[in-house]
Every structure is written in C-alpha cells, then in structure tokens.
Structure 1
Amino acid sequence: MDADPAGAARRAADSPVVDRVARVGFAARGTTYLLMGWIALQLGLGHHPRQQANQKGAFQELAQQPDGPALLWLLVVGLACYAVYRLVDAVWGGRGEPDAKKRVAKRVGSAFRAGAYAVLTYGAWAVLQHRSSSAGEGSGAGLMQHSYGRWLVAAIGAGLVIGGVAQVASGITRRFEKHLKTGQMGPRTRRVVEAVGIVGTTGRGVVFAVIGWFFLDAARTFDPKKAEGLDQSLRELVGHGGGRAVLVAIALGLLAFGLYSWCEARWRRTGKEGRLSPGHLPGADRARGALSR
C-alpha cells in the first residue's frame, strides 16, 4: 500500500486516464455548443427551430437525429467526463500557481464548472429517458417568487456579466493560449486555432453578458419573464433593431466556441502539465511554440 494516500491521489489526478477523460469531456462540450450555435443561427436567419437555443434544446436536437439516442448516450458520458475532470481540477488544480488567492479562485471556478456540468449531464440523460427536466434551461424566473429572489437574480446577473466580460478579455488578449500545447501545432494550424479561440471565447463571453444583462433587468423591473435564460434572451434580441444580425453573430460565436472546444480536446494541457504556471512549462514545448509563431 502507498504510505502517502494524498500523494497517491495526486498521482492519479496526473495520470493518462484523467487526461483521456478530460479530452472526451472537451469534445462533448464542443458538440453541445455546436448544436446550440446551429439552433441560434436558425433563429437569427428568421427560421423557427423546434428546439430551444440552449443546452436542453441541443440535447433534444441530437436525440431526434438518425442514431440520435446512441449519440446522446455518448454525449451523456462525455459531459460526465468533463464534470469529473473539473472536479479533479477543483481538488488538485493550481499547484503551479504561486499566488494563493489565484490558486483558490481557480479551484472554486473548477468546482462551479463541475457542478454545472453534472447538472447538464443529468439534463442530457433526462432527455434520453423522455423525462421532464429544467437542467440546461438556465431560467431564473422561479427564483423571483421568493422574498430574496430579486437579489439572488441580481447577483446571478452580475456574476454572468462579470464572467462574460472576463471571457471577452480572455478572447481578445488570447489568454486562452496558455492552456494549449501550441508547441505541437504547425504555424498554419496555430493560426487557425488562435482565430477560432478568439472568436469562440469572445462570442461565449458576449452570450454570458447578454444573459446577465437580462437577469439584471429582471431584478430591476421585478419582471420574472426577463430572467428566462439563454433561449429567451436570444429570442428577445430578435425583437430589437438589428437584433437578427446580432443573433447571427452570437450564433457564429457559439459555433466557433464549439470548434475551439474540439481543438482543446486535442491540444489542451491537462493533469500535472496543465497545472504548471506559464513560467514552468517544459522548455522544449516553449521552444517549439516560439518557432511556430
């Protein structure tokens, strides 16, 4: 037996198994965003898609395709893998980060993602079992029925706006690149991945900020109908001047983020390597990355 259980657990977290689990998870996340982007694009082009432009709608869209149930089972497994990867990162992540506050913040963020994707996994499973579930809808209307609901909806809205702005900044500054094995990419591949990452990360941030704005507006006006999550937020945009053009741009951003997630499935740093700070990345990888710039 291992005399150091904690050390054994950390080694397990850095194992090839967790690496594979993470990559399956990123691919599943990418598939979900591609489906959401496709539904949103139909909305922006003036069509009337049967499904909602959110995660639940993406699951329903996939389930109705040929071999849909089998594909949705794969998505359930993939989303569960992503939740497990984020849970591992919540426990052992950030070990290469010298700043204790940033290390804690990263772990809390991973814990939140683990919980969110566990809920999404259940939502996909519920669609597969033809059960009713609000998982994946992201509605805050029910919260407004409670005495404290208005402030909770406002807090959620503020968090979404802040998170969205942070993602937009990450996309514009290409901060997401530090999580990728850019040294393993050729010059052309890296340019494509950079472009997809910029558009996708920025687009996803805009989506979060838009939803957050509607939540804040719902709290301000005490109107639960405005806190209905992604699908209702996107449909609200259609009614504004130039809303369809904005919605098409958002849809393209969601599609790009789906493609970027697939790139992460191939080149994301995971395990011990993913937890090293930028200054401690393997020298050979940094050298190859410099040559490919």
Structure 2
Amino acid sequence: MNQNIKTVAYIGYTAKGVVYALTGILALMTAFDLGGQKAGKLQIIEFLENQAFGKIILALLGVGLACYAFWRFMQSLNDPEGIGNDAKGIVKRISFFISGAVYLALGMYAIIEIFQEQGRSGSKMPIEEQSGKYLLIAIGIGLAIKSVYQFIKAIKGDFLNKFNFGTISSSKKKSIIKNLGYLGLIARGIVVGIISYFLIRAGMDLSSSNTIKGTKEAFSFLEQSTSGPWLFALVSIGLLSYGIYMFAMAKYRSFDD
C-alpha cells in the first residue's frame, strides 16, 4: 500500500482520537463535578473553537477528520487490504463508506465553524415530516446493529489483529492497548445503542415533533439511570479509553498490503 495513504490514515486516527478523548474527559469532569460538559462531536468542535488558538485547532482537526474520511472511502471503494466482495466484506465496506461520510461532514463542520460567529449551537435538529421519521427508524436500526457489532468486536478481540505487536517490546504496553480497546468498544457500543434507541423512538412517535438526539443526550440518559453518575463515569472513562486507543492505532496500526 502506498505510504502516503498510510500517513493519511494515521493522521485520521489521531484526529478521531482527539474527538473521543475530549468527549470522555469533559464528560468525566461533569460526572465528578469538576466542570466539563456532556458533549457530542459537534459540541467538541464548539468547545475547541472557544479555546486559545481555537481557529487553528479547528483547522487542524478538520483536516485530520477529512483524512480519516478519505481512508474510510479508500477502504470502501478501493479495498486496499483485500476485505473482499463476499456478503461480510460488502457489509464492512458499506459501513466504512458511511463512516467516511459522517467524518467528512464533521470535518467540514469544523472548517465552516472557523468562519462563523462563536456561541452558536446546533446539536439538535427538528424532525417534522413523516418521511423523515421513517428515515430515523432506518438509521436507528442501523446504529443498533453497529452497537451490537461493537460488543462482538470486544468479545472476539479480533480488533487486535490490526496492531503490529511485534514492534512493541513492552508486554505492559501491549496489555494497556488491549484493555483500552476492550473498554473503548464496550463504551462506544453503549452510547451508540442509546442513540439508536432515541432515533427509533423518535421515528415511531409520528404524532409529535421530535429532535435528533446524540451523544450529549445519551450521557444525560445514563446519568438519570438507576446507577446514576457511576455508570455515566464508567462510560466516560470508556470513551476516553477509545480515544487513547485511536492514538495507539495511529502509532502501531499495521496494514495488509
């Protein structure tokens, strides 16, 4: 595989890691009353925009997320690692394309924010048309499948096959990467599962006007559960772990040329 494509993928994994790590950190701070906020991907961009050198940070993040999107599109359309055209391979390649589209939109949002006034927030979108609500059900079902897939990946542990552990001499470092992956995938599965529930419920409630709910609302849902802030804190730690796991991917990920 071309080294330039690998470099683009590494940059993309780093940018994705930044988004998830910040999501976990801010949520964890909220869980223990240390400030912070319940934030989804859009809120993370708005948070970064309000920091020192926010515009520069957003530009770098936007480019990084675009790189990740490009890598996902490459996996989907060019299949550089030979995933294949059987049923399983096609499903994976379609999911890569969808992932690429999502992160390309997020990267574009980060770039657009550079030229917009600060203080705007657009985490919720009203859904009024019945056709739109049927679409929500379809997306919700897709996310439910993705949620289950995250748990399956964690149970099977095959996500570890993407690492070149031969280049890591420390057994402790290997163990840390494995545990970060397990925690991250489980936490991601929980959050995606809750979001899918929100979308399906919004789509089925055709008589009312609903809003699209994302990670921020999923955190609130967890916080209000019977386990309260502890489950919220555990999932926050899990998302932080997933972010660090993405950083490990950026450094140690191997490619099937």
Same fold (TM over 0.5): yes
Q: TM-score, normalised by structure 2?
A: 0.89
1:179 is matched by which residue type in structure 2?
K
Structure 2 residue 66 is matched with structure 1 residue 80: yes
1:184 is matched by which residue type in structure 2?
T
**Higher-RCO chain (CA-CA 8 Å, sequence separation at least 6):** 2
Change in 2 beyond 3 A, CA 1:53/1:203:
same
1:247 is matched by which residue type in structure 2?
F
1:120 is matched by which residue type in structure 2?
L
2:191 pairs with 207, 212, 236, which one? Answer: 207
Change in 2 beyond 3 A, CA 1:98/1:230:
closer
Aligned to 1:23: 10
Q: TM-score, normalised by structure 1?
A: 0.79
Q: Displacement, 1:180?
A: 1.6
Kindly indicate whether the alpha-carbon contact (under 8 Å) linking 2:66 and 2:107 is maintained by their aligned counterparts in 1.
Answer: yes
1:150 is matched by which residue type in structure 2?
K
**CA root-mean-square deviation:** 2.2
Aligned to 2:182: 198
Counterparts of 1:267 and 1:126 in 2: how far apart (Å)? Answer: 32
Aligned to 1:250: 235
Structure 2 residue 49 is matched with structure 1 residue 63: yes
1:257 is matched by which residue type in structure 2?
Y
Aligned to 1:233: 218
Aligned to 1:267: 252
- 1:129-158 CA deviation, whole Å, 9 max, x = no partner? 225684xx4x4x53x311222322122111
Change in 2 beyond 3 A, CA 1:98/1:240:
closer
Say which SS state the counterpart of residue 103 (structure 1) adopts. Answer: helix
1:220 is matched by which residue type in structure 2?
M
Q: Displacement, 1:52?
A: 5.2
Q: Identity over aligned residues, as a percent?
A: 26
Aligned to 1:163: 146
Counterparts of 2:179 and 2:24 in 1: how far apart (Å)? Answer: 17
Counterparts of 1:177 and 1:99 in 2: how far apart (Å)? Answer: 23
Counterparts of 1:189 and 1:164 in 2: how far apart (Å)? Answer: 27
2:20 is matched by which residue type in structure 1?
Y
Aligned to 1:96: 82
Q: Displacement, 1:28?
A: 0.4
Q: Displacement, 1:257?
A: 0.5
Greater Cα offset, 231-240 or 197-206: 231-240
Q: Displacement, 1:218?
A: 2.3
Q: Displacement, 1:46?
A: 4.2
Counterparts of 2:38 and 2:186 in 1: how far apart (Å)? Answer: 22
Pair member with larger Rg = 1
1:84 is matched by which residue type in structure 2?
F
Could you list the runs of 5+ residues in structure 1 that have no partner in the other structure? 1-13, 274-293
Say which SS state the counterpart of residue 226 (structure 2) adopts. Answer: coil
Could you list the runs of 5+ residues in structure 2 that have no partner in the other structure? none
Say which SS state the counterpart of residue 148 (structure 1) adopts. Answer: helix
